[in-house]
Every structure is written in structure tokens, then in C-alpha cells.
Amino acid sequence: MKPIVRKDMATAVTVADLIMEQTRVWDVDKLKENMSVMDVEDVLKIKLSSQPMEDLNAWAFERNGVYLVCSAYKLLKDIQMSEADHVEGGTTSSEGLGQWWRHLWKMKIPPKVRIFWWRAIHSFLPAKAVLLGHHIVKEGHCNDYGHSSESIFHTMFECSYAHRFWECIKELTGLKPPRLHPDTWAKDLLVGQSDKIGTQEPDWWIDLHYGEMV
């Protein structure tokens, strides 16, 4: 696995630095010192071998850690598309997003909310369409809704579960999600709705809802 966030004060360099040598179990204190809470939870799910093994370099963009030319090509294309989006969006959009990120990281909100937005922006949430793109599942349609692609946007706003969730939120608070484009919804919320997010925290609602569905 590839950690979502590496803390500024992290000291671990290799996996061995996070394992208690005598007992061959994860060193929880060191994990917490070097990683986010979400990463620590994922690491603790990994069973360690009773036999010591040397660390090795692994390609983070394949589940088995093996470097593939096609995987590197896909990564390069993703980077090029991301850079093109920034150019097309203009300097103002890029600066606005950067300013909101800085604002987000200073807010007194649970770390999982910040991590959720980072994952959403980078398509690192386990919607079926995303998993299909990484060859983790064989099909990417929504079982409940019958939609051809269970994208992150579909999971959050279009699925029948999402509809019921937002109806409940509207009944409780009077709020409803704004009209959003399927390709840019996360960035639009961060930049265009930043003033509302700071007080109403719809990102927390979305995070909670997504956790329930997953």
C-alpha cells in the first residue's frame, strides 16, 4: 500500500523501521508517529510474516508492486491530463484551489475529512469505476441503480442510496447539494462552495455517507 499522508516529522525510511524486531509485530507507536490515522488502520490489517525479510523497492501503482511499462504510461498520461486541466482552468482557478487547500488544512475538522477530499480530488475512493480502472474488479456498474458506471460522483449524488441520504439531510437541515458537473464536482465544491463548506461541513456529510455505502 502507499500511505495517503506522510507526516512532516516522519522518521521511518523502510518498512522494517515500523516493525518490532523481537516480536515481529507492527510498532503501533511508530506507525502513529509516521502516518495518518487512516493509514495506520490499513497497515494494521496487513499480516506480517514470522520470518524477517529484506525490504524491496515496489511500484506503488500496481497491486503486486511490479513495475509495468503500461502502468507507467498510464501514470504519465494522467499527469499530462492533470496539467492540461490546470492550464485550461487558468491561473485564477489554480490559485483559488491552492488557497482553499491551505484553508482546509488549517480548519479544526477531523483528519478524515481532509483525507476524504484529497482522495476525492485524486480519484482514490473505491467506487467500482475507479477499481475497474485499476483492474481490481471485473465490472464497474452500480448494482442498486443499474447505472453503467459507478463513479465517485454517481455514488455520492445519483445512486438511490445517495438520494435518500440527501433527502434526510434536507429534512434535518434544509440544505441540499448544489448542481455539480460529474467531472469537476469535487474541485467545484472546494473552490466554488468554500464559504458554505466552512460553516455547514457538507464534506463531513459526504464522507459519512460514503463510509456507510462502502
On whether residue 95 sits in a domain, the answer given is no
Assigned domain for 79 exists: no
Residue 72 belongs to a domain: no
Q: What is the pLDDT of residues 2-35, one digit of tens each?
A: 665 666 677 888 888 889 888 889 999 999 888 8
**What are all long-range contacts of 152-157, with beta carbons under 8 Å and residues at least 24 apart?**
152/120, 152/123, 152/125, 152/127, 152/186, 153/180, 153/182, 153/183, 153/185, 154/127, 154/129, 154/182, 155/125, 155/127, 155/210, 155/213, 156/185, 156/206, 156/209, 156/210, 157/185
Q: Are 203 and 129 in a shared domain? A: yes
Write down the pLDDT at residue 211.
Answer: 43
Residue 52's domain comprises 1-56
Comparing 39 with 197, the larger pLDDT belongs to 39
Q: Are residue 106 and residue 51 in the same domain, yes or no?
A: no
**What is the predicted pLDDT for the residue at 90?**
45
pLDDT at 160: 83
- Are 105 and 202 contained in the same domain? yes
> Per the confidence metrics, is the pTM higher than 0.85?
no
Give domain status of residue 76, yes or no: no
Does the pLDDT at position 77 exceed 90?
no
**Phi/psi of residue 35, nearest 5 degrees:** -135, 165
Q: Are residues 127 and 189 in the same domain?
A: yes
Same domain, 114 and 203: yes
